[in-house]
Amino acid sequence: MDSAGAAPFVGSLEVDPGDGSLLLATNRGLYRVRQDGMEPVRARMGRNDVAKGLAFRFTGPGEAVGSGHPGSERSRWAVLGLVRTEDGGRTWRSVSRLGASDFHAVAVSGGTLAAAEGNEATVFVSRDGGGTFETRSAPLALTDLELDPEDPERWVATAETGVHRTTDGGTSWRPADAAGGARLAWPASDALFRTDLDGRVSRSSDGGLTWEDVGRVDGETQALAAVDEETLYAADLEGVVRVSRDGGRSWSEFARP
């Protein structure tokens, strides 16, 4: 998928609540996913191309916050800090930490925004939309991060060593499961989904304390998105997107790059 020969990398897979469109961010660029293929999205910040290496989260119709590492050959900034779009990913503006941070996971619940650096055991927490941050220590550098949509103090995160959870906004953490490298989606407070590296799909109704196996998805999932408790999308290492319409029990191929 990467014309330069680097290993494919999927930064995020997100559904725009405005029109239901599906966006896939990769190290090759940003794409709008349709059942008949993938359409490149030309993402710009000023005159700079920032489509490559994005990770983002929708916060409203057409509105998202994110981060990325477009590289100096495409942009004047190697890393973007926190950026925001209001037109579905076509144009972005800087919010904070431009040139200083590359957040690989961004999660939002109510007025709380949490963002995890890709190579540090640190989570940045903001109560003002990303203008200012406090920092929290994480168990390890995080692979994925989700906030309870109804309780911004309850988080679940994954790292190479497993799943971890906190109920006090990242002040203290406890291990929740030994599965390393899992991906998460949390569409409702009592419906937290997880895909493991072996393809197992699990659901938790208690914020990650206990898990129930519900199905299995092909490929090694790199990003997981949920429209609601029934409709899930998963993107694998090759950028193939699969969909489940029964809460993760069965999956079918939705789009292939």
**Domains of the chain by range and CATH?**
187-257 (2.40.10)
Q: To 5 degrees, how large is the angle CA 206–CA 209–CA 211?
A: 85
Give the closest residue to 55 by CA, choosing from 42, 64, 46. 64
For the beta carbon of residue 48, count every other beta carbon within 10 angstroms: 14
* Cα 40 to Cα 165: distance, rounded to the nearest angstrom: 36
pLDDT digits (tens, 9 = 90+) for 212-247: 999 999 999 999 999 999 999 999 998 899 999 999
Counting residues of the chain whose pLDDT is more than 70, the rounded percentage is: 96
Residue pair 236/222 in contact by the 8 Å Cβ criterion? yes
In the prediction, which pLDDT does 6 show? 58
0.85 cut: is pTM over it? yes
Sheet with 162-166: list strands edge to edge.
144-148, 151-159, 162-166, 174-177
Q: Rounded to an integer, what distance in angstroms lies between the CA atom of residue 195 and that of residue 223?
A: 9
**pLDDT value, residue 37:** 82
pLDDT tens figures, 31-76: 999 888 889 999 999 999 999 999 999 999 999 999 999 876 667 8
Say yes or no to pLDDT of 25 above 50: yes
What is the mean pLDDT of the segment spanning 142-160?
97
User: 13: left (phi > 0), else alpha (psi -120 to 50), else beta?
Assistant: beta
Helix then strand then coil, in percent of the chain rounded to 5, is 0, 50, 50
For all residues of the chain together, what is the average pLDDT? Answer: 93
DSSP 6: P
pLDDT in tens, 88-126: 999 999 999 999 999 999 999 999 999 999 889 999 999
Q: What digits encode the pLDDT tens for the residues 177-210? A: 999 899 999 999 999 999 999 999 999 999 999 9
Q: Which amino acid is at 180?
A: G
